[in-house]
Structure 1
């Protein structure tokens, strides 16, 4: 409480003082470009995924456009140490995503390499995934997928180097006959989720759907 008086929470866009659990003020909230994608119908992510691997369903919460507030939100989560942004993004997702009677069996988030995890101090997807798991009553598995190589941030790579990565992920457990919802922060080329999806699909009679915080348009 005392810290709130001296260091109040501020809107990440306009710097206006806001409630402690809020990310942006009411005025700036209207600047966020939500996608309004339908999880069960074709959308830009499903169209791209289908060129890379057999995908069941796809969803993105916000548009990751250049110089917009959505991009700033993701950067606050990934690079500014604000892990709790993941909880806010999960709350926004819960308000908009209904699995109806076709819930996936398990949530799996894209892992960080152990070295990157030590550097950052947290996986930006874990709190997001765990909040969704609690609400939808779907288990999560943070240990199923292992990142095999340490590399610099995906957002800082050019497209050629992103495409050059070989076998970046592997599975640590046997999994068959499951519908996996693969969770990532930003969908760009789709190569990250594709690499993991093929590991899951080749492991047994599994299905893969994709949920991302943001779609890079």
Structure 2
């Protein structure tokens, strides 16, 4: 209570006082560039991802543009210790995805290298994945994949550096006969998602891959 009084929650765009559970005010919510993707239909993320991996379904909550409000929201989550923003993104996601036509068997989050995890203090995808798991009643696995190469954050890399993450991930256990929903924060070149998907596909049997991201670069 004292913390909320001394450090009240403010809209990330206009700085107006807002409820502690929100990230933007109602007026600024209209500035958030939602993708309006349908999970079970072809969309821009599906088209981009299909060039790299065999993907069943794809969904991006937001379009991620430089200096946009969507970028500010994701950066606050990743770099400014605002992990609870993940719950807001979950609420926005569950308002837009209904798995009535068939839900995945397992949610899998993209791992951080242990050095980056220690530096940041948390993996921004864990709370997001856990809340999705509870809402949809789908198991989540944060340890199916292990990051074995350390690198700078994608946002701080140039185009050529983003393409050099081959063999950066390792499967930690056998996984067969599953429809896996891979979860990441931002889809840029698709290199991270591609490396992870092929690591799973090349070491598993009868596995299908779908992807869900908080935002995609446009």
TM-score (norm 2): 0.97
- Checking the alignment, whether the CA contact within 8 Å between 2:165 and 2:195 is kept in structure 1 is no
2:146 partner SS: strand
List structure 1 runs of 4+ shifted beyond 3 angstroms.
none
Q: Which residue of 1 aligns with 2:92?
A: 92
- Residue correspondence of structure 1 range 33-182 to structure 2 within 5 A: 33-182=33-182
Gaps of 5+ in 2: none
Classify the secondary structure of the residue corresponding to 1:87. Answer: helix
- Map of 2:216 onto structure 1: 215
What is the SS of the residue equivalent to 1:100? helix
- How far is the alpha carbon of 1:22 from its aligned partner? 1.0
Q: Is the 8 A contact 2:113 2:150 kept in 1?
A: yes
CA distance in 2 between partners of 1:57 and 1:31 (Å): 27
TM-score (norm 1): 0.98
Give the CA deviation at 1:101.
2.9
Distance in 1 (CA, whole Å) between partners of 2:2 and 2:160 is: 50
Aligned pair in 2 of structure 1 residues 53, 18: CA closer, same or farther (>3 Å)? same
Aligned-pair CA distance for 1:166: 2.4
Name 2:5's counterpart in structure 1.
5
Aligned counterparts of 1:209 and 1:165: Cα–Cα separation in 2 = 20
d(CA) in 2 for partners of 1:83 and 1:165?
25
State the secondary structure of the residue aligned to 1:60: strand
Cα deviation, residue 10, structure 1: 0.8
User: Structure 1: where are the runs of 5+ without partners?
Assistant: none
- Aligned residue pairs, count: 217
User: Which whole-Å CA distance do the structure 1 matches of 2:74 and 2:55 have between them?
Assistant: 25
Measured after TM superposition, the shift of residue 2 of structure 1 is 2.3
SS at match of 1:160: helix
Tell me which moved more, 43-52 or 139-148: 43-52
Q: Distance in 2 between matches of 1:70 and 1:97?
A: 19
